[in-house]
A = this chain, B = another copy of it.
């Protein structure tokens, strides 16, 4: 059924029907007729046809690296909440950590289909920059910062600094580090810098052999910890870039008979669910993932409405959650 047919049934003109579904500007009488006809027919306008005319799709594209990661899911949840309340819908694409796909999707969204794009970024290259610059719709980047673009990000350096400091202030002198690739400016580079800063401020130096680079999952954290904890000279505390890595490290400690926190302290950034339920509850920095999603969506909606303006970066604070893995003894 199309709007002409529907209008006929309702006993009004096409235009009247269209007005009903849009601004209004209609007499009470026609309004009633139309409502009755909707009741009968279940008619609702074809959205594609509307989009052709209005050049508005009411769709926002969301590009994310891994849907089944808790942090991504939480950001997306925030995005969805805002979009929903504004009658926008969410077109989701999953790059499965494939950088080429990320660019493909940006390209796909460049001209068509969506009114705006939210990119949950991990690694941002020059190629990204050039594609982003060619976009015809507004874009908001989440989790990374990039000059000239709209970004919502976390205080990664601050979080790792605080956590490392916390462990060192409890008397630890041999800090270890399990991070992720430096190509990730946030989780890789910034968290490293925070760690390094805290170590230096404590008058210590980081030993090369106490540094490892892992992937983002538990297994990788386990493997790297295994390497770090082999031999006799081992760290007395480890800062891990992510909760997953920390969990892997803790499993390794357990296996080696190391007691947490007595023999070795562990902390990490993320505050995902897993840390709370872990073998030894994990000290972590809570990052406001859902809020980041909410803010990003709102920033995007503003851009869509007001039109492109100057790039801005919103940084969200963190909160230290102290648990047993750094010596906090308490009931749950």
Contact = CB atoms under 8 A, between A and B. Distances in A.
Interface of A: 42-49, 51-52, 57, 59, 67-70, 73-74, 76-77, 80-81, 84, 89-94, 96, 110-113, 134, 218, 222, 247, 250-251, 254-255, 273-274, 276-279, 331-332
Contacts of A73: 67-69, 73
B279 A112 contact: no
Contacts of A46: 52, 112
30 contacts: A43-B111, A44-B110, A44-B112, A45-B112, A46-B52, A48-B48, A48-B57, A48-B113, A52-B52, A59-B91, A67-B73, A67-B76, A67-B80, A68-B70, A68-B77, A69-B73, A76-B92, A77-B94, A80-B92, A89-B92, A90-B91, A218-B276, A222-B332, A247-B277, A250-B277, A251-B332, A273-B274, A274-B277, A277-B279, A278-B279
Contacts of A80: 67, 92-94
A84 B93 contact: yes
Copies of this chain, whole number: 2
A51 B48 CA distance: 6
A331 B251 CA distance: 10
A276 B70 CA distance: 16
Contacts of A84: 93-94
B44 A48 contact: no
A327 B65 CA distance: 37
Given A77-B94, A94-B80, A42 B89 contact: no
Contacts of A112: 44-47
A76 B84 CA distance: 19
Query: Nearest 3 pairs between A and B by C-beta?
Result: A48-B51, A68-B73, A247-B277
Nearest to A44: B111
Contact of A47 (B43, B49, B113): B113
Given A44-B112, A90-B93, A91-B91, 12 more contacts: A42-B134, A46-B52, A47-B113, A49-B52, A77-B94, A218-B276, A247-B277, A251-B277, A251-B332, A255-B331, A273-B274, A274-B274
Contact of A277 (B52, B76, B90, B278): B278
Given A47-B112, A67-B73, A113-B47, A218 B277 contact: yes
A279 B276 contact: no
Given A89-B91, A112-B44, A134-B42, A278 B278 contact: yes
Contacts of A91: 59, 89-92
A111 B42 contact: yes
A289 B70 CA distance: 16
A73 B42 CA distance: 33
B76 A110 contact: no
